[in-house]
Structure 1
């Protein structure tokens, strides 16, 4: 039995890791949008801080509402 492989699989399937990946994807989208507006790369750190301050709370409320509806049997997708 390969416990390190099992641990990695458990970690990658965890809700916490999935939430991290979803947030990271949103931050990267935000970075792209802000860089397009600025006409240059704004950098990950600046995009991260801006996203946390201005968008994270709303995104999380929306995401958790959608996930809750999905767990209740709805077929609404997560955005």
Structure 2
């Protein structure tokens, strides 16, 4: 594992600079917020998978469109 990390850093690759990784982190944060809100409404933890599916079906497209406009 350490050799792969070393090779990546030698090639100048930085996960922190990756557009795709940063988009993944932003999307994950939105899903976690959604999980918290929906869990509060339900009165119990709804779980990540349920929150993920609900967010993707009901909110992802609008969220992505809003991010695209903001950039």
Task: State whether TM-score is above 0.5.
Answer: yes
Note closer, same or farther for the CA distance 1:42–1:6 as it changes in structure 2 (3 Å cut): farther
Aligned partners of 2:26, 2:41: CA distance in 1, in Å? 23
Aligned length: 66
Note closer, same or farther for the CA distance 1:48–1:6 as it changes in structure 2 (3 Å cut): farther
The runs of 5 or more residues in structure 1 that have no matched partner are 68-79
Structure 1 partner of 2:29: 25
What is the TM-score when the length of structure 2 is the normalising length? 0.83
Runs of 4+ in 1 over 6 A off after TM superposition: none
The runs of 5 or more residues in structure 2 that have no matched partner are 1-5
What is the TM-score when the length of structure 1 is the normalising length? 0.75
C-alpha RMSD of the superposition: 1.7
Which of the two has greater helix per residue? 2
Aligned partners of 1:3, 1:54: CA distance in 2, in Å? 40
Structure 1 partner of 2:39: 35
